[in-house]
Homo-oligomer: A and B are copies of this chain.
Amino acid sequence: MSLVVVGTVAFDAIETPFGKTDKIVGGAASYIALAASYFNRNIHLVSVIGDDFPTDFLNLLKKEGVNLDGLEIKKGEKSFFWAGKYHNDLNSRDTLVTELNVLADFKPVVPEDAREADFLMLGNLAPAVQLSVIDQMKRRPKLIVLDTMNFWMDIAMDELKKVIAKVDVLTINDSEARQLSGEYSLVRAAQKILKMGPKALIIKKGEHGALLFNEEEVFFAPALPLEEVYDPTGAGDSFAGGFIGYLSKTEDISFENMKRAIIFGSAMASFTVERFGTERLIGLSQNQVDERIQEFIDLVQFDIILA
C-alpha cells in the first residue's frame, strides 16, 4: 500500500568519538525511505535538493522502490547541510553548521498520484510545511505519523500543536515529551499528549528503547545492546521508517501490529547506528533483517505462567 515520505534529503558532516566524516548523504527522508523500503516498495518521496546531490544515491533510492517524482531539484542551488559533533556519551551533540540552502523556502508538492496514499510519514520539518502536505492529500490517509523535535517546540509551538492535532501517531524523544507536556513522568506526559489529538504516542529513549502509548495500553520495545554505537545520526528516522514501512506493508494499524512495527523500527535503527550515515542501511539481506529481529525476540522473551 502506497506510502508518502516527506522530509529532508541533505548532506551531513558528522563527528563522533570514533571518527569524522566529510559531507555524506543524510536527511530524515533519506533514512526513513531507506528503512521503509525493506518492507514497502511503493514509496513516494517528497523533498527538495540542490543540483549538488549525488545521482548515485538517487538511483539507489529508485532501485529500492522509492518514486522520486516528488523530489524537487533546484538548479544552481545547494542542498541542505548540517554538521554536528557528538559528545563522548553519544547522547548529546552540538550543531556546528546549519546551511538551510534549498530548505529555506521549501514548498513541498505532493505528486498527483501520491495524493491518495494511505500512509503518510511526516519527517522532521517546520510544522507549517508538514501541515501543507496534509492539506494536499485528496482524502485523509489511513495513518499519518509525525516526527518532530524540540527546536519546533521552542519556536513554533502553536503551529506544531495544529499538526499534532491532525495526526494518528506522534514520535518524539523523552525530553521532548516532557517539554511538550510539562510533565516529568512519561506516563503522565503521554496521557496529556494523547489528549492533543494523536491516537498513539511513541516516546523514543535512544539506547534505552522506546515506549508506545495509546489511551489504554503501553508497550515497551528495547534497544539492542550493541558493542559500539558509531553514529546515532538518523536512528530516530530509521526507526520511523521501519515502523511505518511495516505498517504500510501489513495494512494493519491496530495496537498489536504497532507493537510489531516498533520492533521492526528498532531493528532498522540498530543497523543505522553501527556505521556512519546511511551506510549500514543499504543492501541488507532479508536474512540479516530476520536475524536482527530474532535478536530482539530473544532479548526480551521470557515465559512466566501465572496460576
- How many Å from the CB of A294 to the closest CB on chain B? 6
Say yes or no: B304 contacts A263, CB within 8 Å: yes
Of B185, B220, B227, B306, the contact of A185 (CB 8 Å cutoff):
B227
Report the bound CA distance from A220 to B301 in whole Å. Answer: 9
Inter-chain contacts of A293 with B (CB < 8 A): 304, 306
Say yes or no: A227 contacts B263, CB within 8 Å: no
**Which residues of A175-227 have CB atoms within 8 Å of chain B's CB atoms?**
184-188, 205, 208-209, 211, 217-222, 225-227
Q: Does A22 contact B (CB under 8 A)?
A: no
Say yes or no: A222 contacts B225, CB within 8 Å: no
Interface 1/0 per residue, A44-67 and B, CB below 8 Å:
000000000000000000000000
- How many Å from the CB of A307 to the closest CB on chain B? 7
Q: Does A85 contact B (CB under 8 A)?
A: no
Say yes or no: B225 contacts A302, CB within 8 Å: no
Say yes or no: A302 contacts B208, CB within 8 Å: no
Size bin of chain A's contact surface: 35 or more
Say yes or no: A208 contacts B211, CB within 8 Å: no
With A209-B208, A263-B304, A306-B293 given, is the CB distance from A299 to B226 under 8 Å?
Answer: no
Q: Select from chain B the residue with minimum beta-carbon distance to A17.
A: B184
Q: Does A260 contact B (CB under 8 A)?
A: yes
Say yes or no: A260 contacts B303, CB within 8 Å: yes
With A209-B208, A290-B307, A293-B304 given, is the CB distance from A219 to B185 under 8 Å?
Answer: no
**Which residues of A250-307 have CB atoms within 8 Å of chain B's CB atoms?**
256, 259-260, 263, 290, 293-294, 297-304, 306-307
Say yes or no: A259 contacts B302, CB within 8 Å: yes
- How many Å from the CB of A232 to the closest CB on chain B? 13
Q: Does A228 contact B (CB under 8 A)?
A: yes
CB pairs A–B below 8 angstroms (8 shown): A185-B226, A188-B228, A219-B300, A220-B299, A256-B303, A259-B301, A293-B306, A300-B300
